[in-house]
Amino acid sequence: MHRRLIAPGALAAASLLLAIPASAASYLPGAPGIGDPYYPYYGNGGYDVSHYDLRLTYQPRTDELEGTATLLATTTQDLSRFDLDFLLDVSEVRVNGAKAAFSASAPHELEITPAAPLPKGTSITVVVRYSGVPSTKSAYGFNTWHRTPDGAIAADEPESAWWWFPSNDHPLDKATYDVSVAVPDGTQVISNGTLQSTTSQLGWTRWNWRSNKPQATYLSTLAIGKFDITTGKSANGIPVVNAYSKDLGDEAGAARASVERTGEIADWLTGYFGPYPFSSVGGYVPNTTTGYALETQTRVYYSPRQFANGSNTSVVVHELAHQWYGDSVSLKGWKDIWINEGFARYAQWLWSEHEGEGTTQQLADYVYASHPADDPFWTVKPGDPGPDNQFDTAVYDRGALAVQALRNEIGDRAFFAVLKGWPQQHAYGNASVADFRAYAEKVSGKRLAALFDTWLFQPSKPAAPSARTATLTRAEAAPVRPKSWKKIEATNDVHGHAHGH
């Protein structure tokens, strides 16, 4: 975890060696992290990526991945050197066509020193040639690359990119993508966005996927294996692409009966959140043994286990809600995770009401009543939970309770205007919990400091809101579990997830 610091003397010596003129004293290395206090080395400083072009080849038998990443970026400071986040083996780096020096550094940095220093505001093209066996690489003692009997998957949060492409690995730096992967004929490649084409030669098929809207690195996904692919269009006209491992066994029916509802559910969410923000929608179910689902942009990742007890449309609602809350509007820092999970969970509550399996208020009452004041549940602050509790159930359940509290405070008219207006306000960008509060205050005309503090930032159980006292007292006496509860909670299978922080 500890990085060596470069002594000022060493920096001066390096400048002399490079014969940088005295006026170039402002040329400094980019920071090894983007500045997120939850994850000090995630992302990097000094540049902003606008596009990733990944041209790869993967051999499922040996887990060998090789290829070339071409990054388009702009410098945001006078740069003598910069980092990418990456774990595979690099053979060559070029910056604006010229060979650059590079070295790997803990915990997951690729340090690149261009032949000539880069002035602030310069467009740069960085080409990284690499290869490696992702399953053999780890950082902080974990590895999130999943091998399957017929391939492999990259889908994890917050870290999945280090095992397959060099990046500025933080949601603050979103970019468009072209992902092109060659695999042996008969194997399929699934990624984000639209499938532009496939081409075959000499026993290999190359799959060309494109994401033409800004996408966070952790929302970029890659799945290689034997899949059945289904395509269609939602009633509103969104192109749908889903994929199912041919190897789902007894889960196959329930998985399809859930994920084939994607177009219908995306259209239904449009009624609450406004127009669907991307050019395609869908999900994939690989033959992994993981338990969770993940809102990978346009192409949701579902573990087969999500469907072990039958179909589950609630998890589909959750992951598709993230396309607006989390993917199009991404968090600014990982502390803002409530913007993602509180609203994706609330969408499940809305779906429950729509399906006649419990209203949002009944679900809120149930969450409130089922955690007594001394339950550690209330010590988690959804508005800033800390890296260890980032995906605690409280971020989801207390987070959705906070959304219901907001609704009760500002009334349905303002509330639904906020719910639909927010994704437009920050479309394809980044926003924080503080930004959300400011927006809700603007739309409702109410001061909401106390409400946000109580429901999102206090490490204790809020007093029952007076308007609801009657219901809550009754609920507290005998909490009624809404019919939808089990399937809603099943979405949180992230607790069985391979690594912790």
Rounded Cα gap, residues 236 and 257, in angstroms: 20
- Minimal distance in Å, beta carbon 26 to ligand TRP? 39
Token pair of 306 as six digits? 């999500």
Question: Looking at 307, 334, 346, 391, which residue binds ligand TRP (CB under 6 A)?
Answer: 391
391 binds, among ligand TRP, Zn ion, none (CB under 5 to 8 A by kind): ligand TRP
Nearer to ligand TRP, 293 or 402 (CB): 293
Residue 286, helix vs strand vs coil: coil
Q: Does 100 bind Zn ion (CB under 5 A)?
A: no
Rounded Cα gap, residues 71 and 52, in angstroms: 5
Token pair of 374 as six digits? 């001394």
Q: Does 431 bind ligand TRP (CB under 6 A)?
A: no
Q: Does 292 bind ligand TRP (CB under 6 A)?
A: yes
What part of residues 300-359 is at the interface with ligand TRP (CB under 6 A)?
318-319, 341
Contact criterion met (CB below 8 Å) for 260 and 466? no
Nearer to ligand TRP, 27 or 164 (CB): 164
Mark 128-157 with x for binding to ligand TRP (rule: CB under 6 A) and - for no binding: ----------------------------xx
Q: Does 380 bind ligand TRP (CB under 6 A)?
A: no
Question: Looking at 223, 255, 269, 293, which residue binds ligand TRP (CB under 6 A)?
Answer: 293
H helices of 387-491, where?
Answer: 393-425, 433-444, 449-452, 469-477, 485-490
Rounded Cα gap, residues 186 and 163, in angstroms: 24
Is cis: bond before 158, omega within 30 of 0?
yes
- Minimal distance in Å, beta carbon 326 to ligand TRP? 7
Residue 102 pairs in a beta bridge with 112
Nearer to ligand TRP, 153 or 238 (CB): 153
Token pair of 496 as six digits? 């069985």
- Minimal distance in Å, beta carbon 272 to ligand TRP? 18
Residue 439, helix vs strand vs coil: helix
Rounded Cα gap, residues 58 and 203, in angstroms: 13
Nearer to ligand TRP, 293 or 401 (CB): 293
Question: Looking at 88, 128, 367, 494, which residue binds ligand TRP (CB under 6 A)?
Answer: 494
Question: Looking at 294, 394, 395, 403, which residue binds ligand TRP (CB under 6 A)?
Answer: 294
Contacts of 5 (CB under 8 A, 6+ apart): none
Mark 109-138 with x for binding to Zn ion (rule: CB under 5 A) and - for no binding: ------------------------------
Token pair of 80 as six digits? 């003598």
Rounded Cα gap, residues 266 and 242, in angstroms: 13
- Minimal distance in Å, beta carbon 112 to Zn ion? 34
494 binds, among Zn ion, ligand TRP, none (CB under 5 to 8 A by kind): ligand TRP
209 binds, among ligand TRP, Zn ion, none (CB under 5 to 8 A by kind): none
- Minimal distance in Å, beta carbon 143 to ligand TRP? 13
Of 14-22, 60-68, 257-265, 289-297, which segment contacts ligand TRP by CB under 6 A?
289-297
What part of residues 298-357 is at the interface with Zn ion (CB under 5 A)?
341, 344
163 binds, among Zn ion, ligand TRP, none (CB under 5 to 8 A by kind): none
Q: Torsions phi, psi of 124, nearest 5? A: -125, 150
Nearer to Zn ion, 54 or 219 (CB): 219
- Minimal distance in Å, beta carbon 438 to Zn ion? 24
Token pair of 111 as six digits? 């340090």
Nearer to Zn ion, 58 or 284 (CB): 284
Question: What is each CA distance from 50 to 129, 217, 243, 299, 422, in whole angstroms?
Answer: 19, 12, 28, 21, 24
Is cis: bond before 107, omega within 30 of 0?
yes
Rounded Cα gap, residues 225 and 80, in angstroms: 41
- Minimal distance in Å, beta carbon 501 to ligand TRP? 10
Q: Which of 329, 348, 468 is nearest to 397 (CA)?
A: 348
Q: Which of 50, 38, 34, 37 is nearest to 109 (CA)?
A: 34
Nearer to ligand TRP, 208 or 306 (CB): 306
Instruction: Give helix 262-273 / helix 393-425 axis angle, nearest 10°.
Output: 70
Of 93-101, 288-296, 442-450, 451-459, which segment contacts ligand TRP by CB under 6 A?
288-296
Contact criterion met (CB below 8 Å) for 188 and 227? yes
Task: Name the burial class of residue 72, with classes exposed (0-12), middle (13-18) and buried (19+) by CB atoms within 10 angstroms of its CB.
Answer: middle
- Minimal distance in Å, beta carbon 387 to ligand TRP? 12
Neighbours of 307 (CB within 10 A): 24
Nearer to ligand TRP, 413 or 499 (CB): 499
Q: Which residues bind ligand TRP (CB under 6 A)?
A: 156-157, 292-295, 318-319, 341, 391, 494, 497
Q: Which residues bind Zn ion (CB under 5 A)?
A: 341, 344
